[in-house]
Amino acid sequence: MLPVNSNTAVQGCSPVSSNCVIWQGPNITCLSLCTGDSISSVVYKLAVEVCQLKTDAGLTDLDLSALLQVCQATPEPVRTLSAVLTLLIDKIVCLNDIVEGLPSGGGSSYTEPTLNLPLCLQYINGQGQTVTSLIHNQFTLTLATKLCAIDTLVNSHTGQITSIDNRVTVLESATGTVIPTVIPNCLLTPGTAVNINVLLDELEAQYCNLRTVLGSNNALSVAIAQQCSGLGSTQALSAAGTVSSLPGWNNTVSNVAQSFQNLWVVLCDMRQAIYDIKDCCGQTDCSQFLLGFTGATNNDRTAVTVFFSGGATVIPSGFTNCTAQGSKITISDLSGHSYVAYVDLLTAASDVDGITYTVSGSNLNPAQNYTITVEGCITKNGNVCSKTVNYIVSAPCPIITSVTATLQ
């Protein structure tokens, strides 16, 4: 290229194109210049780098507003590199003077800021007060302590998860299932180990049997509800006061055991009352009632006489026959034939001649033993005494009137 106007012509120099001048210096890698490049190329590359540097180092868009208010307010300087660097140095020196002027360790003139604790870090102190804020160093310590606790908990959970994961892996890798065994105490063969599923089946069967005997839960509840309404507030029979005052009484019945207990309390109360009545009004003693007799037949065994006298039969004072007919008397043979009649024991006990019964029309076999059965029954004041006694009248031996013999 040839310049239109060049100062070289004034100085008597012969114009030469820059394209014809060769760069003989070393290679400059950062500028991509190589030995042998034309001066035109060298100058162009240098100009590009200078323009880029000017753009990158430009201070036109630099915001200095925040820096101007630091330490001491300062007017905005001219936006040159030298002026901006001077401003930075002045601010650093000012801040350094302030820091060096602070008392060592905080001093009495320094107060740490108080920071509010988030809800999850608030706690109750030794005086029972809720701590909602702390000074800076205590706040930091609390955070560190909490972080350590969380770290410990996370490590613990990690270990547990790992352990569970390992156990699950073992279970998933298992090729078969081993049914555990147990030793029953009262089912199947007590003391002998059986598979738990076998014991469970037996336990269910026993439970079903027990439920069948005792009834369902609903049936038991219905039975409990059958207790007389207001029974606890009624008068007791054997003692002063109400039934609820008797020992063992449950005012509120909610299960079968309590209901059964109340049943026994009432039963014992009734029994004691009945005993008191008997003791008060005269007790009937059946042990004094004696029933005994003998029997005999006539020669052809068509009549049977029964003797109750002679102390064999004793009727205590005040007793009467249970029925107007008296006590039942049955005369039977070994073939199943029988004769039935009734006897007044009160009269028969003192009749020395005995009571005679004609049995000729009863189909009794006179050649067989007769069994006399008396079902004695007497009563007094509503109390009944019953006794049954048997007596056998043997059949007579046959009488041999003649013997016929033949001699040979």
Q: What is the pLDDT of residues 139-187, one digit of tens each?
A: 899 989 988 989 899 999 999 999 998 888 887 787 777 889 999 999 9
Q: Please indicate, yes or no, if residue 147 is contained in any of the structural domains.
A: no
Residue 252 clears pLDDT 70, i.e. is over it: yes
Which residues does 295 contact at the CB level (< 8 Å), separation at least 6?
A: 304, 305, 306, 307, 370, 372, 391, 393
Name which of 190-204, 277-291, 295-309, 394-408 the model is least confident about. 394-408
Q: How many domains does the chain have?
A: 4
Q: Please indicate, yes or no, if residue 379 is contained in any of the structural domains.
A: yes
pLDDT at 45: 81
Residue 68 clears pLDDT 90, i.e. is over it: no
The answer on 297 and 276 residing in a single domain is no
Please report, rounded to a whole number, the percentage of residues in the chain having pLDDT higher than 70: 86
Domain final position from 229, 247, 281: 281
Structure tokens at 98: 């302030």
Could you tell me the strand order of the sheet in which 303-307 lies?
294-297, 303-307, 355-358
Please report, rounded to a whole number, the percentage of residues in the chain having pLDDT higher than 90: 47
Q: Please indicate, yes or no, if residue 307 is contained in any of the structural domains.
A: yes
The answer on 254 and 292 residing in a single domain is no
Among the listed residues 203, 279, 184, 266, the one whose alpha carbon sits nearest the alpha carbon of residue 231: 266
Residue 129 clears pLDDT 80, i.e. is over it: yes
The answer on 219 and 305 residing in a single domain is no
What is the mean pLDDT of the segment spanning 252-280? 87
Global confidence as pTM: 0.34
Q: Please indicate, yes or no, if residue 128 is contained in any of the structural domains.
A: no
Looking at residue 392, the DSSP 8-state letter turns out to be: E
Q: Please indicate, yes or no, if residue 34 is contained in any of the structural domains.
A: yes
The answer on 75 and 27 residing in a single domain is no
* pLDDT greater at residue 54 or residue 392: 392
Q: Which CATH number is 361's domain given?
A: 2.60.40
- pLDDT band of 280, cuts 50, 70, 90: low
The partner residues of 304 in beta bridges, in order of sequence, read: 297, 357
Q: Which amino acid is at 226?
A: Q
Residue 97: CB atoms within 10 Å: 10
Among the listed residues 342, 339, 367, the one whose alpha carbon sits nearest the alpha carbon of residue 355: 342
What span, in angstroms and rounded, lies between the C-alpha atoms of 306 and 297?
9
The answer on 335 and 370 residing in a single domain is yes
Structure tokens at 144: 């560190």
* pLDDT greater at residue 115 or residue 311: 115
What span, in angstroms and rounded, lies between the C-alpha atoms of 154 and 71?
46
State which residues form the domain around 50: 18-56
The answer on 387 and 290 residing in a single domain is yes
| Beta strand ranges found along 137-244 (DSSP E) | 181-182, 194-195
Burial profile 231-243: b = 16 or more Cβ within 10 angstroms, e = fewer: ebeeebbeeeeeb
Domain final position from 221, 252, 281: 281
pLDDT at 298: 93
The answer on 231 and 325 residing in a single domain is no
The answer on 307 and 239 residing in a single domain is no
What are 326-360's pLDDT values in tens digits?
999 999 999 999 999 999 999 999 999 999 999 98
The answer on 273 and 228 residing in a single domain is yes
Q: Please indicate, yes or no, if residue 158 is contained in any of the structural domains.
A: no
What is the mean pLDDT of the segment spanning 258-267? 93
Task: Give φ, ψ of 122 to 5 degrees.
Answer: -70, 150
What is the mean pLDDT of the segment spanning 265-285? 77
CA distances for 201 relative to 187, 204, 303, angstroms: 11, 5, 71
Domain final position from 281, 300, 335: 281
The answer on 315 and 271 residing in a single domain is no
Q: Please indicate, yes or no, if residue 358 is contained in any of the structural domains.
A: yes
Q: What is the mean pLDDT of the chain?
A: 84
pLDDT at 1: 45
- pLDDT band of 56, cuts 50, 70, 90: low
pLDDT at 89: 80
The answer on 73 and 34 residing in a single domain is no
Query: 194 and 184 in contact (C-beta within 8 Å)?
Result: yes
- pLDDT band of 59, cuts 50, 70, 90: low
Q: Please indicate, yes or no, if residue 109 is contained in any of the structural domains.
A: no
Name which of 86-100, 123-137, 296-310, 326-340 the model is least confident about. 86-100
The answer on 370 and 290 residing in a single domain is yes
Name which of 11-15, 251-255, 269-273, 357-361 the model is least confident about. 11-15
